[in-house]
Structure 1
Amino acid sequence: MELKIYKDKNEVAEEFSAFFAERTKGDKPFHVALSGGSTPKIVFDVLADKFSDGIDWNNIHFYWGDERCVPPSDDESNYKMTVEHLFLKIDVPQANIHRILGENDPEGEAMRYANLLEINLDRVEGVPQFDLVILGMGDDGHTASIFPHQIELWNSNDHCVVATHPQSGQKRVSINGKVINMAKEVAFLVTGKSKAEKVKTIVEKATGYETFPASLVNPSSGNLFWFLDEDAALDLD
């Protein structure tokens, strides 16, 4: 893994945006799985405001690593957040936006989305391969929507799974660990002091680290990047 530590979340957003712009150069289609959360929100703003002119949005296909089972108009929707902070500001073909239909029956939608990934993406050893998967990490060590209490979903036979938030009981559709680890590159975006303890435990493989889904992110390509601010990296040796 490669640790990239920056002053604050705004610098993380700037540096990751530059990383993203560099990765998307060229004429080939680029398939990326997006994350929800506060840090990607800033990233999308920076991408749209400062990097948009240098990116050929016609080549980029957008997917989501997970989505809450709510309508696309709901404030909790990862899709809605991306529309407001990125898609409304750039010229991207509608056909390049492949959202998880959070308003649909969760089980049926997980099957539909898994099938979409199989059709749209190259498959390696039967697993759809993204060019880049962007991940966040919760204070509890979850990533995508694989939570510690359902860590067995990580190795599910299904490319997409239905997860349940441990506190709210809200259903979510998420890609599984096999899809995450098959990506050509995986990038964590993690900011804030509340994440520092889990970052240390996972990065340094301290006692009990394997109980956190984020610790299972280990792409077979070897290309794993952690974009951290100083607060999130506070406890690292």
Structure 2
Amino acid sequence: MIRLPENTTVFDDGEAVARAAAGHLRTLCEDAPNQRFAVCLSGGSTPKRLYTLLARPDYATLPWSRLHWFFGDDRAVPWDDPLSNVRMVREAFGTPSPIPETHLHPIPTADGPEAGARRYEATLKAFYGAETLDPARPLFDLVLLGLGEDGHIASLFPGKAALDETRAWAAAVPEAGMTPFVPRVTLTYPVLASARSVLFLVSGAGKQDPLARLSQGEDLPVGRIGGSPLWFVDRAAAGA
């Protein structure tokens, strides 16, 4: 088995990873009663399983009225495009969605990645109520992240300028590092790390390679997140 990051729990499959993530969300909500609660969503198949699961009656008792949902990244396509994370999330949560309409905060993509990044940064700052992040007051309660086969997280790809952005809250990615090669908008490292809990959801044999490269000390985007994130990994990804 690959030498896995600290704070890793291995589960049988992606479905078990999603169930554990749902339980983690429930626990965090219970630990923050009567407070507005912000979740940063990830694209990908395992997070999609999680969103579908959360829409089931078993999770109707979540405090939906105080949950707010943001996006770690998205492709600069219309929200109804098959490549859009907004479309994926809306389809996963279903109709009717348990998320109040005003509590889903998509990245605006209609006017291109540069304008989208500026507008989303303004949205995040308005929600947070300040122009700068305070380490003692995280922006998000939970940040969900996947892991790309090239080691990217959100739309922070190897070799791209957004990796080194530390002042902006959101950045344009004119050229993606892997397919589909469409422009994107991504949150930056300081913003993704501004969280009570950062949780990686990793499943499938295709993730063995980036996990192995990370364990060998290679400088991959995933290794720059900092802090002490949690990792929920299935056996196929762990090589178990």
TM over 0.5: yes
Q: Which structure 2 residues correspond to residues 1-237 of structure 1 after superposition, within 5 A?
A: 1-25=6-30, 26-86=33-93, 88-121=95-128, 123-124=133-134, 129-150=139-160, 153-163=163-173, 164-167=175-178, 168-202=180-214, 204=215, 206-207=216-217, 209-210=218-219, 212-219=220-227, 222=228, 224-234=229-239
1:182 Cα deviation after fit: 2.0
Q: Deviations over 1:177-235 (max 9, x none)?
A: 11112222100111011111211332x3x14x21x10111113xx3x111100011117
Q: 1:179 to 1:154 in 2, by over 3 A?
A: farther
Q: 1:126 to 1:213 in 2, by over 3 A?
A: same
Q: Check conservation: 1:127, 1:179, Cα contact below 8 A.
A: no
Q: Check conservation: 2:144, 2:200, Cα contact below 8 A.
A: yes
The CA distance in 2 between the partners of 1:15 and 1:89, in whole Å, is 24
Q: Deviations over 1:118-166 (max 9, x none)?
A: 1102631699621111001110000000000216534332110011213
Q: CA RMSD in A?
A: 2.0
Q: Deviations over 1:52-79 (max 9, x none)?
A: 2220111100000000001011011101
Letter paired with 1:234: G
Q: 1:109 to 1:182 in 2, by over 3 A?
A: same
Q: Check conservation: 1:153, 1:161, Cα contact below 8 A.
A: no
Q: 1:73 to 1:42 in 2, by over 3 A?
A: same
Letter paired with 1:81: M
Q: 1:128 to 1:120 in 2, by over 3 A?
A: farther
Aligned to 2:3: none
Gaps of 5+ in 1: none
The CA distance in 2 between the partners of 1:11 and 1:76, in whole Å, is 26
Identity of aligned residues (%): 30
The CA distance in 2 between the partners of 1:22 and 1:127, in whole Å, is 19
Q: Check conservation: 1:151, 1:213, Cα contact below 8 A.
A: no
Q: TM-score, normalised by structure 1?
A: 0.89
Gaps of 5+ in 2: 1-5
Q: Check conservation: 2:142, 2:195, Cα contact below 8 A.
A: yes
SS in 2 for 1:120: helix
